[in-house]
Structures are given as C-alpha cells and as structure tokens.
Structure 1
C-alpha cells in the first residue's frame, strides 16, 4: 500500500502511457492555471505547437483544451484559427459573482445541517492556512486555500444538483476572484468576511451564514464594478496627459 492507504497500481498498469482524455485534462489544468495566475495576460496569442512542446504532448489535447477553456470564457477562438486569452468582461464577471453567491448561500444553509465533524475540522485547517497566506501576502496560495474552502462548503451541502451548477459557473468566477484580490483593500475585507463565515459555520448558524455568504459575493461583484470604473478613469487620465504633452494617444486608450 502507498502512504495514502490505497493499493498502488500494478507495475504494468503504472507503466501504461497517459490516455488521450488524461492528456486533455492535463492541458486544460495547466493552461487554466497560467491564465488565472496572469502568466498569460488578456490578448496573449496561444499557439498549439508551443504549448504541445512545453507540456510534452501532441497538439491534439492542446487544441481540445483551447475549446474547453473557450467554453469557460477564458480563451477566445477567433477567425483563421487564431486563439488568444480572452479579455475579462467585468460586468459579466460581476453577474456571475451574483449568481454564484446565491448558489453558495443555499449551499451554506444546507452545509450547516449536513457538514460532518471531520469536514468542520478540515474547514478550520483551511482557514488557518488562508490566514497564514494572507499575513505573508502569498496570493497564489491564499487563493487556492480560498477555493478549497468554498468547494468544501458546497460539497458539504450534499446536494449533487447544486454542486453541478456551481462547478459550471466556477471557472468564470475564479478569474474574477483573482482580479479582485489585486485590490489590497478588497483582499483585506474578503479575508475578514471569511473569518465571519467560518465562525457562523462553527456555530451552525444557518441564517447568519446564508446572509454572510451572499454579502461576500455581492461585495466581490461591487469590487469588480469599482475596478472597471477606476480602469476607465486611468485610461481617460492617460489620454488627457498625452494631449497635454502633445503626444498622440495610444491605441485603445480613448477611455471609451
């Protein structure tokens, strides 16, 4: 047995090459992580050959991964087989946050009744991890702990239909969550909200938890809309500064 307590696969099975579906999922996972982390910025062209070489796989799973990520709103499939990282539609992202908040509000209410003592213990461990990463400003690890907390709460609702709907929306919300934590004030507020959510779950206070969860997502949506407004203001100021200095405006910097 291996250290997880499960029987290790026989040598002949372990030596089998990865199946086509496995390679596809691996390509999706790697590309999604790179996009969410900002390693592949909006508008970045994506080339099958380059990623197939980087990931050590054929072009087919990479091409299929592009289609999967396009369905999640992370990739744009343009004419002439051009593929690029999609630009974030902030208003659409804010709307997804609102819907996801309603789903997680219901999940939280159910989780208060159905979460096991073991799941509560895991939740507390994840909360401690998130606090440590917040204090050290380790944003990637903080976001992963945050994701695991939300996932645990939804899974603890023990409602397969709710979990399915949540998983369909999650990829679109994850990118917005990564963007919203770039605002330090929103990051700090979100962390405080998580502490209240954790405390309500420990008390099994379903009414308070449902309200806190919905407010958590409403605040996230408001933060995204605020950042959009600020970005437009920065573009206008850059255009004004360029006009004052006599420099021609940069393409796409008209503030529209």
Structure 2
C-alpha cells in the first residue's frame, strides 16, 4: 500500500507541475526521438489515447505542439504523421545550425561565467570517460546534453526555441544504419572538437569561439555525407537474394 501511495503522490505532483497535454506531448516526443514511432509513421489519435490512458483531447493538443517543434506534420484529410526529413533538407538544417552555433559561440565568449566554464569542464570529463570506454550510446546522449547546455547558457529564448527545433529535425533524419556508420570510430575526433569549443569560449575570443563552433557543426554535416556514401556503396555491393539462390 505504501508503494501505491507513493506512486499516487508522485503522479499528483507531476500533474500539478505539468498539464495533461504537456505530459502527453513529452511522452510522444520521447517515443519519436527514441525511434518507437518512426519517421513516416501515421499517428492514430484513438490508439495513442488508449495506450496513454487519456482522452483524445490531450493527444490532439499534443499533436499541435509536436508540429510546432518540427516532429510531426498534419496532412489535410490524411492525418498526422511523424515527419520525414530528406537528405537535402538535412543539408539545409546543418547549414542553419552552423550559423546558430557560431552565434552561440560568439555570445558565450563574452557572457560566460567561471561557474559555467567549470560546469562545461565537468561535463567534458564525463564525456572523456565515455570515449575511453567506447560508450557510443552514452556519448551520443551526453553530446546532446553538452550542446543543450551551451544553448541554455545564452539565455536567449528565441534562439533556444529555433535551435531545438533544428536538433529535433536532425534526430528524425537519423536512420539506425546511418547513425551507426556516422558515429563509428569518430568519438576521439568529436571529443577533441568539444574541448576546443570550451577552450575558445573560456578565452573570451568571440571570433575564435564562433568559428570553431561553426566548423564543428559543418564537420557533423561532412560526417553525415561520408556515412551516406559508405551506406550507398555497401548497398550497391549487396547481391540480390534471388541472384544468389539462382547461382547455388
């Protein structure tokens, strides 16, 4: 009974801090970014409401909020779908993100505090440990935390909203095979770039900090293209099953 009471109290506390549509949005966003709801999937309002134990109203409101942050799109007379991002659109997103990263670097170089620099160094130490142990999944998650921390330190709400939408859209573009190819053996390079970012910001040189962050974003785009090229080459060399059977 004590455990049930504790869970009930936790649920009540959660609902007091968040509206029901907000909680539904958070869960659907988690499912989309985790790949439980894949790009192109049609979202069934009734099924999701039943699964989450809510009425259709909060799900409908969550759909509108998810569309605003770039995760779903509503097609007239067809329904709501998890957004699909093409390679060309991903390219455009990286280009805009690079410009915003440069802005973040320039701004933080002139406003960051010693306490914030220490916070970044602490986070980098954790990331160093993940590189040493080849913890790719842990590093990938911590990389998002690192960039979101830099973003929050700007204290620019318009920038934060715009940047997070771009990050969401890039998350939709990642396919499992592509993500694996893109991150394979790239951790040492990535962590070195992160250290350069923090060092540049800490020096207070806005131009250097902005340039390094822009280069970091564009390097991510280049890695994406190399991964796509490798994937395309691998697919070209896969022998069709029918041909293989015919030759046996």
Interval of TM-score (by shorter of Structure 1 and Structure 2): 0.7 to 0.9
Q: TM-score, normalised by structure 1?
A: 0.74
**Deviations 1:125-169, CA, capped at 9 Å, x for gaps:** 222222333444444543342223222323333445434432443
155-164 or 49-58: bigger deviation: 155-164
Residues 54 and 18 of structure 1: CA distance in aligned 2, closer, same or farther (over 3 Å): same
Aligned residue among 119, 125, 129 for 2:126: 129
182-191 or 109-118: bigger deviation: 182-191
Q: Distance in 1 between matches of 2:136 and 2:44?
A: 28
**Deviations 1:154-191, CA, capped at 9 Å, x for gaps:** 33334454344324433223445786652213444322
Between structures 1 and 2, the one with greater helix share:
2
Map of 1:107 onto structure 2: 104
SS in 1 for 2:36: coil
178-187 or 65-74: bigger deviation: 178-187
Q: TM-score, normalised by structure 2?
A: 0.75
- Quick check: 2:70–2:165 contact (8 Å CA) kept in 1? no
Count of residues in correspondence between the two structures? 234
Aligned residue among 48, 51, 54 for 1:54: 51
Q: Distance in 2 between matches of 1:178 and 1:130?
A: 23
Residues 80 and 174 of structure 1: CA distance in aligned 2, closer, same or farther (over 3 Å): same
**Deviations 1:55-101, CA, capped at 9 Å, x for gaps:** 33222222332333334443344465444433332221222122111
Map of 2:218 onto structure 1: 218
Shift in Å at residue 193 of structure 1?
A: 1.2
For residues 1-256 of structure 1, the aligned pairs below 5 Å read 18=15, 22-78=19-75, 80-176=77-173, 181-182=179-180, 183=182, 184-238=184-238, 241-242=240-241, 244-245=243-244
Residues 71 and 16 of structure 1: CA distance in aligned 2, closer, same or farther (over 3 Å): closer
Residues 85 and 188 of structure 1: CA distance in aligned 2, closer, same or farther (over 3 Å): farther
146-155 or 102-111: bigger deviation: 146-155
Q: Distance in 2 between matches of 1:193 and 1:64?
A: 40
SS in 2 for 1:18: helix
SS in 2 for 1:185: coil
- Quick check: 1:28–1:65 contact (8 Å CA) kept in 2? yes
Higher relative contact order (CA 8 A, sep 6+): 2
- Quick check: 1:77–1:83 contact (8 Å CA) kept in 2? yes
Q: Distance in 2 between matches of 1:48 and 1:142?
A: 34
Residues 151 and 16 of structure 1: CA distance in aligned 2, closer, same or farther (over 3 Å): closer
Aligned CA RMSD, in angstroms, stands at: 3.4
Shift in Å at residue 219 of structure 1?
A: 1.1
Give ranges in structure 1 of 5+ residues lacking alignment.
1-13, 248-256
